[in-house]
Amino acid sequence: MNWNDKLPLIAILRGITPGEVLEHVAVLLAEGFDAVEIPLNSPNWQESIGKTVQAYGDRALIGGGTVLKPAQVDELAWLGGKLLVTPNIQPEVIRRAVSHGMTVCPGCATATEAFTALDAGAGALKIFPSVSFGPDYIKALKAVLPPEIPVFAVGGITPQNLHLYLKAGCIGAGLGGDLYRAGQPVNRTREQAAAFVAAYRAATRAR
């Protein structure tokens, strides 16, 4: 996945249900999103991911988050998922996802975790929880990472603070509760998606 050719904002739809997922993903894609993560601790995640891949897999990078075990990687691959996001560093999970040709974005907090993930084959990293560390920490961590590795800020990112993390060296962000909360109406998803896209474009134009 060449994130430079895409909008590097990952929509995290934690808690979404199969009955509503397609409607929410449709408005995300309409607003310009290219990547959607459905965490595996969401209700009936297999059905949600399968439906979303079938409907939109040719238009966006669709996959799962909160992936903890190699067996879950295999199940996600069987469903057609192309994106895999983890909250932690589990080398075997990363290696299994790479073997399936997935775009892998594991969660890390330290240089040790980051390099462990890269050694296992990860092609991108998410710093989690970013809001707890802050942009200055991420800037310092970026200084020791290979410059070609995309880094995403995840955890507490809002349209108001996104620019701070982009300035610190993140290519983009994973967007959770400030984009989607379980049960919210589709119009709220559309409004927040538009706000994040506008914030990203304003921040990158200002560089």
Place of tokens 């507490």: 156
Residues carrying an active site annotation: 37, 126
Give the gyration radius of the chain's Cα atoms.
Answer: 16
Question: Closest Cα to residue 48, out of 93, 97, 81, 6?
Answer: 81
Question: Closest Cα to residue 162, out of 191, 187, 198, 108?
Answer: 198
| Cα 114 from Cα 120, distance rounded (Å) | 10
H or E segment to which residue 38 belongs: strand 35-39
Question: Closest Cα to residue 148, out of 166, 131, 124?
Answer: 124
Peptide bond into 43 cis (omega under 30): no
H or E segment to which residue 172 belongs: strand 172-175
Pairing of strands 103-105, 151-154: unpaired
